[in-house]
Amino acid sequence: MSNPSYRQPPIVALEDRPLQDTRGVLGSRLFAWIGDVVVLFILGSMVWFLLAILGIVTFGLTWLLMGGATIAVALGYAAITIGGRKQATLGMRMAGLRVETASGGRPDALAAAVHALFFYVAAGTVGLWFLDVACGLVREDRRLGHDILTGLVVVRA
């Protein structure tokens, strides 16, 4: 069956991934998340207050935006902070963490927002959350499930 005139091209290894310091990031991520919950509560409260005041002026129309505003604040916060120059949310900065792509680059805002969306979906479902965290416990690089899906790595800053 094999044709002697056919030659398979040589297999070339992909570029080596940069050495990323992921020691102890799982515990630090918990504290970073607690800090981010506080920040998101403050930001969300300000947006809700603004929409409540505008709802009086618009006869309640802006009150319909309150549910979507909560999601937009969380995803926008991740997109601006993780996709920004410092590559970390305020909670991550307090915990000494930052986010990189798997190749060591800076994530863009869309990848950061999708990363946060996957996290919040997993956190809202016990089974998915358990699977998400289990990935981090068994992997050497400590990447959670939503990190793998988005191609991002949380490292020591």
pTM as predicted: 0.83
How far is the C-alpha of 8 from the C-alpha of 4, rounded, in Å?
10
Range of the domain at 114: 25-156
Mean pLDDT of the chain: 90
Domain annotation covers residue 6 = no
Model confidence over 116-136: pLDDT tens digits? 999 999 999 999 999 999 999
> What's the number of domains the chain is made of?
1
Task: Let me know if residue 143 belongs to a domain.
Answer: yes
Digit-coded pLDDT (tens) for 31-83: 999 999 999 999 999 999 999 999 999 999 999 999 999 999 999 999 999 99
Q: Return the bridge partners of 156, or none.
A: 97
Average pLDDT over residues 89-96: 96
What contacts 24+ positions apart, CB below 8 Å, involve 19-22?
20/100, 20/104, 20/141, 20/153, 20/155, 21/155, 21/156, 22/141, 22/142, 22/143, 22/153, 22/154, 22/155, 22/156
Structure tokens belonging to residue 84: 């920004």
Does the residue 43 lie in any domain? yes
pLDDT at 3 over 70: no
